[in-house]
Structure 1
């Protein structure tokens, strides 16, 4: 009898694991360069108060790069302008993590690429959500979203994109 109770508990635990694993919503995209080559993977997982962004990149110029969530799920090379502006909930948009009046929900901390052209990082943003809620703009709205890496670092103040320059890589989230 005791063994049967243990087996029931074990089966209930095993059956609950897939439910827990799928509880977090998740989207991803392949990071493409201006030449169309693959430069890594982007994964975004929904969290109770924002999103967790995981990046694995290769083949980029070493140094600091601005990175942002963009408002459209489109990455037409070579300039990636089809990704639109940064994700935002209100206009006019004030860019910059260091500005008191900032409302640009697409802002993220800079990405550092090592001398070998690679980077692996996790970033947490409380400025967006996957599907909306808690007053945060949704990444996965009707026209989707993308993650764009820029040529230079974001200074977190200059309008409209923090002086981060050209778009050098882009991933459509789906």
Structure 2
């Protein structure tokens, strides 16, 4: 069973540092039901699930959130607490080649991107304590590897330069 058959409403969420843009669509018809923008703050996280429930009273709802482990981590957690099922939506940036960046378009694309997906195959949010810990550790390791490479290159350059200076000094002294 695909998402459009399993849920009555799909909410697309485009997450940003300051705001999250929401688009509620009817899963069966694809019609846009409502849209809203909430701040990326604690009051915004608590208002968003209530707003979604008002747009979808007594309906099954799936939230397709971009960035469930970054800017969307807290709103994803708020959805889970409110009993709204959440899936990871792919960022729209590369799906759209024309025009500029538009959060209003991106939230709708996030919602539509999951409609034809089998319910069993929708990606689970990547938000988890262990996942976040691993992400931080891998980022730290990348930084350490880059620094080690830079240090090795600087040392090699210093040794090479000092050897050539020594040779120049020896040849000019004779």
Q: TM-score, normalised by structure 2?
A: 0.24
Q: TM-score, normalised by structure 1?
A: 0.24
Structure number with the higher strand fraction is 1
Return the index of the structure with the highest Cα Rg: 2
Structure number with the higher helix fraction is 2
